[in-house]
A and B are shown apart, each in its own frame.
Chain A
Amino acid sequence: MDNPLIHSLLVIVAITIAFLSIMLLVAATVLAERRVLGFIQGRLGPNRVGYGGVLQPFADFIKTMMKEDLVPDQSTKFVFLLAPTVAVITAIMAIIVYPFGPTINLPFIGPIALRIAQFDVALLYVLGVTSVGVYGIALAGWSSNNKYSLMGGLRSSAQLISYELALGLALIGVILMSGTLDIYEIVQQQSGAWGMHWNIIYQPIGFIVYLIAAIAETNRVPFDLPEAETELVAGFHTEYSSIKFLLFFNAEYINMITVSMLATSLFLGGWNGPGVATFPILGLFYFAGKILFFLFLYIWLRGTLPRFRFDQLMNFGWRFLMPLALINIFLTATVQAYAGDFLNLFR
């Protein structure tokens, strides 16, 4: 680790591994979504390609890549190309701050920390990258030169901006409790009580507000108004085909995964769980398991809930979630100020 060259090489290897695992997880989520939705709706879902349909996402990938790459006439071509790139890059940039597991001892190599980067403002970095992600959708809607796309883009931008506030405010409770913006620190603080000392015990309101706002941030059911098929064809990506559509598709699923990672790290103890102190490798599986739980929750909600109307969405965000998050901050601050020493006895 002393040599900067070896250090940067290790970082590149770590980024590659993380990138590949995220991409595989995206493929697995797409398949799982179709199979689970099929189960919920009393049908089979895709099960022909490979064993139980395992190869279906790859078949779909190849088929979509072969499609003609259309660029609408009279569209702003540069922006039209820029939009999906921005969407997928900002989505994937957020994964570097999450700790996937504790430091583990590998045979031959030695101790290795299962994270890519650790820095002081990790949480702010996540929020910043997420807020830049709005441009992907807004510019896609604008540059398609199509009224459905524009409506989808505008709706989506309004929705993202509104729910970003509730999302950020929901995180402040955790920040107040842990006193740091470093996600690795926050995860490590939750390792007490045999790895079950999770922040969700102290922040139930914050967790619920975060979860709802996160679902809205990723444009998923019941907040998938930007791509409401019945009203807007396919919303902001109506005009996109082939690889550009795939980029948007990927960005949506990567966003789902990173949002689940943030929820896991901040509220569900990250890689903490019973037995991690003695067998650190277990942490990796706990982390993966918690993410898979959130991904299943997404699919479950999609199979269960209908879509909101747009004014309901706005009212819910501004009149219910925002005040709830503010109350949570107020409560947390009061308890921290007057009973912080008492609570620290249990840490």
Chain B
Amino acid sequence: MSLMFILFGGLAIGCALAVVLQRNPLYSAISLIGVFISLSSLYLMLSAPFIAAVQIIVYAGAIMVLVVFVIMLLNVEAEERKRPRLTFLFPVAALLAFVLIGEVAFILYSVKPARTPGPADIGLTKSIGVGLFTTYLLPFEITSILLLMALVGAITLARRTEILSSVSRLMTGPYVPPPEREEPIIKAVEETS
């Protein structure tokens, strides 16, 4: 356990706690970005630079931007301190947490870490690419189709009325004609002078 692992592992745990405990949704989102960045550093130390970079680009750079956008646009206020409603679920939550801790403890005690480290180039871009296009080609293609379906679904939901009609515009919303001014501004200036 190196110093860097303790640093970034601790940072990840601290940020994860902050995600849950913060009352302001924007602070939670920022903490979640912190979690992703620390996780990416951990991947880097496990000699998986590609996964680390993708973690930053996809999660911190794309998904969380969307979340922060939504929070900013909807102007979600800090959650008020009100009486919790689903109180009967507390014991269930405690039980589930206990089961999770039990599972982690079981894995920590029963599974032996591999004595021999894997090949050194296992986390590099080239080996991942070769693996994706040879051994795991079918899962890769299925995932692509899944993503395509999600994309088409999002576009269909966004324009319910008519799918991509000729007057539809990308990103700019409905066309708003400029307001027609009945009297030119110059006239007002002339009157005052």
Q: Which A residues contact B (CB, under 8 angstroms)? A: 76, 78-79, 82, 119-121, 124-125, 127-132, 134-135, 138-139, 141-142, 150, 153-154, 157, 161-162, 181, 311, 314-315, 318-319
Contacts and interface: CB of A to CB of B under 8 A. Distances in A.
Q: Which of A76, A120, A141, A311 has the most CB of B within 10 A?
A: A120
A132 B172 contact: no
A142 B27 CA distance: 12
B65 A161 contact: yes
A154 B73 contact: yes
A79 B30 contact: yes
Contact of B124 (A78, A120, A153, A315): A120
A314 B124 contact: no
Nearest to B40: A128
Contacts of A129: 56
Interface stretch (B47-55, B109-117, B155-163): B47-55
A124 B50 contact: yes
B27 to A, nearest CB: 8
Interface residues of B, number: 27
Given A150-B72, A311-B172, A314-B171, A121 B61 contact: no
B60 interface: yes
A129 B61 CA distance: 8
Interface in B133-170: 169-170
B61 A157 contact: no
Given A121-B125, A128-B60, A128-B61, A135 B33 contact: yes
A139 B33 CA distance: 13
A154 B172 contact: no
Closest 10 CB pairs of A and B: A131-B61, A128-B56, A124-B53, A311-B172, A121-B53, A128-B57, A314-B171, A121-B49, A142-B72, A318-B170
Contacts of A314: 170-172
B5 interface: no
Contacts of B49: 119-121
13 contacts: A76-B24, A76-B26, A79-B26, A124-B57, A124-B125, A127-B53, A138-B68, A138-B69, A139-B30, A161-B62, A181-B125, A314-B172, A319-B170
